[in-house]
Chains A and B, each alone.
Chain A
Amino acid sequence: LAKTTQPISMDSYEGQEVNITCSHNNIATNDYITWYQQFPSQGPRFIIQGYKTKVTNEVASLFIPADRKSSTLSLPRVSLSDTAVYYCLVGDGGKLIFGQGTELSVKP
């Protein structure tokens, strides 16, 4: 299972776009890149998943360059309720390894 590296924390203001980048230099050919969101005292929640290029859903966008050694989660126009910890994971199903995640703090 490939290891991921992401910033420990980030600050933003309401209405801004937030980009969280994750490094995964040892990603394997079969691995997908998945992002989770976790609020305090709750279990993580799946946000988005991709393999290459760009994926967009109603919550976020995921940008993956051609070499797939990094990925960027983009949250458009964040609100206070987006304050949470965001985890980047890589794998091909089954066991997932959660790192420390990025603690995003959105301020008014």
Chain B
Amino acid sequence: SQTIHQWPATLVQPVGSPLSLECTVEGTSNPNLYWYRQAAGRGLQLLFYSVGIGQISSEVPQNLSASRPQDRQFILSSKKLLLSDSGFYLCASDRVSYNEQFFGPGTRLTVL
């Protein structure tokens, strides 16, 4: 099965600072990759997904961007964080033709 690595586990950043969250995948090749955000007490919101290197689709207009420089690496970035960017960020990958996604441990981001 696939293993998803995310770091850091927790992050506290001031408003206006940059952000870089990294996700790497083991155990598969050419996966679809996803970034989700979960606000406290709410469901997961899909932010970005990627079907291949350099191919990024954005689901919602926002202050964030994503990049996929390598097949199994997915990066979430921001040039200037907002308070509303606080949340639990999850990276996921899936098996082709299934609804089974594998999730990483997540990054808890607090913007102060």
Contacts and interface: CB of A to CB of B under 8 A. Distances in A.
Interface of A: 32, 34, 41-46, 49, 87, 89, 91-101
Contacts, number: 58
A41 B46 contact: no
Contacts of B7: none
A42 B105 contact: yes
Interface in B19-40: 32, 34, 36
Contacts of A94: 32, 49, 94
A50 to B, nearest CB: 10
A60 to B, nearest CB: 14
A47 to B, nearest CB: 10
Nearest to B106: A43
B73 interface: no
